[in-house]
């Protein structure tokens, strides 16, 4: 299976170079970087000292060389390749986070023509946690939910896509509209906590790969469900599992829960 990676020069792009080099059934066939990126024209594995024989390009037409596209870049990067994925009928797994409502709409629109996985987290463990927090939300309906995440100093979006998806899972399980109950940050004289809200706190520092903790706070007791990523390998391996799933699907918007057979 020929795989194109968008965001190739980044942390996840390079993790995918390694995962693809180890995969017997897959090969890197095209590598896309940001227009004007210092990596364009160089070998896709150069930042990791790996020779892939595939040069980094900033031309989305390179996607014609792939059976499936994996994108871990920035929302602008995803939106730049999406029309070409549609035109060339290439399935795409989107691991990028930080989309606004209009950008999500554009992804939904594309998924009417091609198979798309939109996955704020591709690790198996986090996708199990999405299910666990949904169940906890049903079992503990009167608790106050707070979601705390910590990531490395270079992360640019907050709260993380994973934290937001955890909040969405909880709101769905409780029959709430996420946008009405989410408190994405707090400061100043906030007043007492409003019942039924879902609070978020985002910490940034060092080289933390990814920590997420969901707290169900009641009176006299507290339940906490947490996930720690210690390397990015789980994200890359999960993305390859998602890509293998996608090539056999009809057009539509899929999640990692669909890939892994996890009921919501
Ligand atoms: N779904 C999941 O499991 C995971 C998701 N992520 C998400 O994936 C994304 C990438 O993360 P990470 O690899 O750590 O980030 P990096 O910043 O390390 O990499 C992002 C890459 O995207 C490139 N890029 C930036 N802007 C554009 C653009 N407009 N068009 C094309 N390419 C662009 C950058 O190019 P240049 O280097 O030239 O600036 C860079 O190489 C983030 O949104 C992150 O939240 C991360 C880990 C796991
Ligand atoms: O930027 C990161 O690093 C990560 N981003 C994703 C997110 O926003 O949830 C997934 C993971 O937490 C790492």
For the chain, give the longest Cα–Cα distance.
60
- 2-118+232-260 folds as Rossmann fold (3.40.50)
Q: Which of 2, 89, 90, 155 is catalytic?
A: 155
CB of 210 within 6 A of ligand 1: the answer is: no
Does 155 participate in catalysis according to the annotation? yes
CATH code of domain 124-229: 3.30.360.10
Note the pLDDT tens digit of each residue in 66-117: 999 999 999 999 999 999 999 999 999 999 999 999 999 999 999 999 999 9
Distance CA 134, CA 166 (A): 8
Model pLDDT, residue 96: 99
User: How many Cα atoms are found within 13 Å in the side-chain-facing hemisphere of 232?
Assistant: 18
Note the pLDDT tens digit of each residue in 135-165: 999 999 999 999 999 999 999 999 999 999 9
Banded pLDDT at 179 (limits 50, 70, 90)? very high
Residue 210 CA, ligand 2 centroid: distance in Å: 6
Helix residue ranges, H only, the chain: 11-22, 75-88, 101-110, 124-139, 161-173, 178-181, 233-246, 256-260
User: Which residues on neighbouring strands pair with residue 227, listed in sequence order?
Assistant: 212
Model pLDDT, residue 9: 98
Record the tokens describing residue 254, joined without a space. Answer: 């899929």
Distance CA 27, CA 53 (A): 11
Model pTM score:
0.98
Show me where the domains of the chain are located: 2-118+232-260, 124-229
55 burial type by CB count under 10 A (0-12 exposed, 13-18 middle, 19+ buried): middle
Q: 31 pLDDT exceeds 90?
A: yes
What would the mean pLDDT of 209-221 be, rounded to a whole number?
98
Distance CA 30, CA 140 (A): 47
Q: Tokens 């998602």 — which residue?
A: 242
């Amino acid at each position: 299976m020929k795989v194109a990676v968008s965001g190739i020069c980044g942390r996840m792009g390079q993790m995918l170079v390694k995962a693809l080099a180890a995969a017997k059934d897959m090969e890197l066939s095209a590598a896309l970087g940001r227009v004007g990126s210092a990596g364009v024209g160089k070998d896709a594995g150069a930042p990791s000292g790996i020779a892939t024989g595939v040069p980094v390009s900033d031309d989305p037409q390179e996607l014609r060389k792939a059976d499936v596209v994996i994108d871990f870049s920035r929302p602008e990067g995803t939106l730049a390749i999406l029309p070409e994925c549609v035109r060339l009928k290439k399935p795409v797994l989107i691991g990028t986070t930080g989309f606004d409502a209009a950008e999500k709409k554009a992804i939904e629109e594309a998924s009417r023509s091609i198979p798309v996985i939109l996955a704020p987290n591709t690790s198996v463990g986090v996708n199990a946690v999405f299910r666990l927090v949904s169940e906890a939300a049903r079992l503990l309906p009167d608790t106050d939910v707070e979601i705390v995440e910590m990531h490395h100093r270079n992360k640019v979006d907050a709260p993380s896509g994973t934290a937001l998806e955890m909040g969405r899972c909880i709101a769905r399980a409780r029959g709430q509209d996420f946008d009405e109950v989410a408190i994405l940050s707090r400061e100043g004289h906030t007043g007492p906590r409003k019942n039924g809200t879902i609070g978020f706190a985002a910490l940034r520092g060092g080289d933390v790969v990814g920590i997420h903790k969901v707290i169900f706070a009641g009176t006299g007791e507290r339940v906490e469900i947490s996930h720690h990523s210690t390397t990015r390998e789980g994200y890359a391996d999960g993305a390859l599992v998602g890509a293998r799933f996608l090539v056999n699907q009809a057009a539509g918007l899929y999640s990692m829960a669909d890939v892994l057979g996890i009921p919501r």
